Amino acid sequence: MNMEARVGVVVEGGQRALNSAHGAVVDAGARKFLQQQQHGHSSKHGLSPQIGTIQQLLAGGIAGAFSKTCTAPLARLTILFQVLGMHSDVSALSKACIWREASRIMNEEGFRAFWKVNLVTIAHRLPYSSVNFYAYERYKSTLQSIIGLENQRGNAGADLFVHFVGGGLAGMTAASATYPLALDLVRTRLAAQRNSIYYRGICHAFHTICREEGVLGLYKGLGATLLGVGPSIAISFSVYESLRSYWQLQRPNDSTIMVSLACGSLSGIASSTATFPIDLVRRRMQLEGAGGRARVYKTGLLGTFRHIIRSEGLRGLYRGILPEYYKVVPGVGIVFMTYETLKMLLSSIPSDH
């Protein structure tokens, strides 16, 4: 009887051990499944997966530089058209044509001239895009925690608010952080040169501007930049995120890369259409006094708007919008597509937090 009792205890203990082990395996499998589900669910919302700070800065910087390199010819054409009305008469403005200007660059400056300022563009875009995307992710997370959206989805109005405000703050943060480098102003002046070469390169441009206009000359157009970049990035991010979320809700099996490319292109069109006039004013203010020329706009930001409308009409505020569309359709799409792709690739690298 004692032997049977002992056997029963052993059997019962073994059974409990087996049940415990089985339960542990099931629990581990369940936890892994839930983690995968949560990761997959979170990847459908916002810019994800989440990665570390260094990887995020790297992804944003490379995405911006790569996009600008791909669209450099159209970017230069846009700048040339935007500043065309500063020192040109009405007859010259009426004859402006994208293909004629592109042919002129090819014949007079050569094919490489389309990438004439790409080096300074990359030097500006790497830190700008890095800060822009990183700041957006941080602002978005902060806003979501403030209004309690971390663990709930489906509130379209609140999500739109987060993306719009987060994007606007990120754009202003990136512009404030990188404009002191004055690379955007130097890029504009180098790109706007046609037949006569006044600035021979990046270093010569810095030296000449400081000598002729003072150090403050490097910050012309800063007010217009800060005023325009907030709404521009806000619209870009909010339209992109909204379109991307809706697309993935309706067609969850579509390629992430193609979705990012398409939604980014549409967000670029929306952003450029809404903020192009302030961008045009910014470019013209950056060129004030360039190359020893007389100043054209002497009454500040609002005065520049009035001067352009009075001398060129409302259409003058959208001079160069066509090459801008040609640029942003692939350009903004490439930015988001490259950023999302790099985030997926870099997510396998251990983060720093």
**Span 289-343, pLDDT tens digits:** 777 777 777 778 888 899 899 988 898 899 889 999 999 999 999 999 999 999 9
Classify residue 5: in a domain, yes or no: no
Classify residue 24: in a domain, yes or no: no
Classify residue 39: in a domain, yes or no: no
How do residues 227-274 score in pLDDT, each as one tens digit?
Answer: 899 999 999 999 999 999 999 999 999 988 899 999 999 999 999 999
The pLDDT value recorded for residue 168 is 95
Classify residue 187: in a domain, yes or no: yes
How do residues 134-149 score in pLDDT, each as one tens digit?
Answer: 999 999 999 988 887 6
Residue 12 pLDDT exceeds 50 = no
How do residues 37-87 score in pLDDT, each as one tens digit?
Answer: 444 444 444 455 567 888 889 999 999 999 999 999 999 999 988 888 776
What tokens were used for 244? Answer: 């991307």
Classify residue 218: in a domain, yes or no: yes
Are 274 and 238 in contact, with CB atoms under 8 Å apart? no
Can you tell me the distance from the alpha carbon of 258 to that of 277, in angstroms, rounded to the nearest whole number?
30
Can you tell me the distance from the alpha carbon of 212 to that of 204, in angstroms, rounded to the nearest whole number?
12
Q: How many domains does the chain have?
A: 1
- Which domain range does residue 242 map to? 50-346
How do residues 190-226 score in pLDDT, each as one tens digit?
Answer: 998 887 788 988 899 999 999 988 888 888 888 889 8
Cβ within 8 Å of residue 290, ≥6 positions away: 189, 192, 198
Classify residue 129: in a domain, yes or no: yes
Can you tell me the distance from the alpha carbon of 98 to that of 108, in angstroms, rounded to the nearest whole number?
15
């002729």: which residue's tokens? Answer: 212
Are 55 and 331 in contact, with CB atoms under 8 Å apart? no
Classify residue 27: in a domain, yes or no: no
Indicate which CATH number applies to the domain containing 275.
1.50.40.10
The pLDDT value recorded for residue 262 is 94
Classify residue 28: in a domain, yes or no: no
